[in-house]
Amino acid sequence: MRKLSVHGSSARRDLVLVCALAACAIIPLLLIGAAHFAVQNALRDVVTVPPGLLSLGKWFVDTLFAPHPNADSWDVMRRAVDAFREHGEGIYERVFFGDGKKFQYPPASLLPFEFLESLGLRSNAQWNALNSIFFFLNAGALAWLAVGLSRREGFGPYERDNSRNVTVFGLGAGCLAFALPFVFQPTLQAALIGQIKVFIDLGFTLACIAWLAGRRASAGVCIGLLCATKPQFAVFLVWALLAREGRFAAALFLTGAAVGLAGLARYGLSDHLDYLKVLSFLSHHGESFYFNASVNGLMNRLLFNGCNVCFGASPIPPYNALVYAVTTATSLALLALVFWLAWRRPPGSIGLLGFSAAGVGLTLASPIAWDHHYGIALPAYIALMMHLLNQRPGTYRTYGLIVLALSWVLVAADMPVFNLLKDTSANVLQSYRLFGGLMLFGLLAVAARRETLARPRSEKVSGLSFSQMRPSTD
């Protein structure tokens, strides 16, 4: 009876902990969304205002039963396919430079689009219905990741002492993780505007699950496939080589090469060379629109280089030497930090926090990082939460949780009220999501070092020893 009572007390304690975490993660976002909902009509008279969190939530529920026609990705991809079929080459010259349509994906990104069109998926509503499926799959994958983390050393509540404790907390954390994409602005926005980033979010979450399980080759395949639509992830290959993660690097290279060669065979060398011109053009210009949560966006807005509350028909801002110099310098600095974090670790010692830090760092280093690009940050938030809860009570855990909470609100919420500052030097506050992302990256860098140092411990936790969690030979 005494043992049963202890177990019951532990289970109740973990249930209370999960409820408290859910309240801290969701209630601030709902309050911000409610405030936005209350004043959005007044704001709309002054600045461009996107739907708030509550509006997005209602819209998303509605579209589950009647898929919407929004096509942020689909329209430009369809235009690119049409240009190729009509002319055989010159996709970027006609679509990006000629029509001014912002088709910014590699040629290989059109391969699955053409394939699914051949199967009958031709309308935007059908594509968005498929996106909704990917959205729910990502929510389920995040839940699986949280449950898996709860059974690992170094993650979950400090001083767990029984398997039931793991089960209660793990299931609670899984339910919370499943709910997070539904209140996280980057993932919601991607689903509601018809963005291919929903698929990227799912792919990165699956890569994190594979990494946690020690299946480096599977993680490499996931990242290699994502390179077809997110070429920045090709830099993961350099990171993997510096980290001496041979299986991951080989799988990423072979998968990425296969996708690239397929794209080359289908669309030809000329369009691939033209895509390099697109990347060069974007790196020299960037975007001023406040959804661009990057250093480039911050600098363009600070120097009033382009309209920072306009999108769509708004032209790409003109070249500015200072913007380009600061963008290049900060991108190189972030990449150097990502590479240094990988190089200084012993081979095979990088855990999920280190892997997530690389993904977030590569996103921050990009000249253009739209709000929906931050959807890949959800696995990092979950891993950090579990890591910090596992630390002994003290300064690191306390301040870590405070920084994590602040970063979460800045990245997860939508706060267009800062657009009122668009014509002042205080418009740096429009870059709140960038600041939240930088806080997340810094915390990941610190936590990854502690995770690495903690992994060799051999004491048993909840019946599992470190020897039972060594990476597989995948």
For the stretch 423-448, pLDDT in tens is 999 999 999 999 999 999 999 999 99
User: Counting beta carbons within 10 angstroms of the beta carbon of residue 456, is it exposed (0 to 12), middle (13 to 18) or buried (19 or more)?
Assistant: exposed
Structure tokens that stand for 150 in this block? 């709860």
The pTM (predicted TM-score) of the whole model is 0.89
User: Residues 6 or more apart from 104 whose CB is under 8 A from it?
Assistant: 96, 278, 282, 368
User: Counting beta carbons within 10 angstroms of the beta carbon of residue 245, is it exposed (0 to 12), middle (13 to 18) or buried (19 or more)?
Assistant: buried
For the stretch 401-412, pLDDT in tens is 999 999 999 999
Q: Give the closest residue to 198 by CA, choosing from 130, 107, 113, 125.
A: 130
Alpha-carbon distance values, 399 to 112, 158, 167 (Å): 45, 16, 28
**DSSP characters over 159-181:** T--SHHHHHHHHHHHHHHHHHGG
Provide the 8-state DSSP code for 309: T
Report, as an integer, the average pLDDT of 273-296.
93
Structure tokens that stand for 474 in this block? 């995948």
Worst-scoring range by mean pLDDT, 82-86, 324-328, 457-461?
A: 457-461
Report, as an integer, the average pLDDT of 253-282.
95
Considering the chain, what percentage of its residues have pLDDT values greater than 70? 82
Q: What is the pLDDT of residue 3?
A: 42
pLDDT at 281 over 90: yes
pLDDT at 472 over 50: no
Worst-scoring range by mean pLDDT, 187-191, 231-235, 359-363?
A: 187-191
Q: What is the pLDDT of residue 6?
A: 41
d(CA 291, CA 298): 10
Task: Give CB contacts under 8 A, 24+ apart, made by 331-337.
Answer: 331/295, 331/365, 331/366, 331/367, 334/361, 334/364, 334/365, 334/441, 335/235, 335/361, 335/362, 335/365, 337/361, 337/445
For the stretch 412-422, pLDDT in tens is 998 888 888 88
| pLDDT bracket for residue 314 (50, 70, 90) | low
Report, as an integer, the average pLDDT of 136-154.
89
Q: 79 versus 65: which is more confidently predicted?
A: 79
Q: What is the pLDDT of residue 180?
A: 94
Q: CB of 412 within 8 A of CB of 183? A: yes
Provide the 8-state DSSP code for 370: B
Q: What is the pLDDT of residue 35?
A: 73
Neighbours of 278 (CB within 10 A): 20
Report, as an integer, the average pLDDT of 289-297.
94
d(CA 389, CA 140): 22
d(CA 104, CA 95): 10
Partnered with residue 370 across adjacent β-strands are: 292
Worst-scoring range by mean pLDDT, 118-127, 220-229, 294-303?
A: 118-127
pLDDT at 465 over 50: no
Alpha carbon 209 to chain centroid, angstroms: 14
Structure tokens that stand for 463 in this block? 């019946």
d(CA 331, CA 299): 13
Q: Give the closest residue to 252 by CA, choosing from 289, 286, 296, 220.
A: 220
Alpha-carbon distance values, 322 to 219, 277, 319 (Å): 38, 21, 9
d(CA 326, CA 316): 18
Sign of CA dihedral 243, 247, 250, 254: negative
d(CA 417, CA 156): 36
Among all chains, which residue has been given the structure tokens 């240009």?
A: 83
User: Residues 6 or more apart from 87 whose CB is under 8 A from it?
Assistant: 94
Structure tokens that stand for 396 in this block? 């690191």
Neighbours of 467 (CB within 10 A): 8
3-state secondary structure of 464: strand
Report, as an integer, the average pLDDT of 253-258.
96
d(CA 182, CA 186): 10
d(CA 234, CA 248): 12
Among all chains, which residue has been given the structure tokens 């609100």?
A: 409
Considering the chain, what percentage of its residues have pLDDT values greater than 90? 57
pLDDT at 353 over 60: yes
Q: What is the pLDDT of residue 464?
A: 35
Q: What is the pLDDT of residue 450?
A: 82
User: Counting beta carbons within 10 angstroms of the beta carbon of residue 150, is it exposed (0 to 12), middle (13 to 18) or buried (19 or more)?
Assistant: buried
For the stretch 373-402, pLDDT in tens is 999 999 999 999 999 988 888 899 899 999
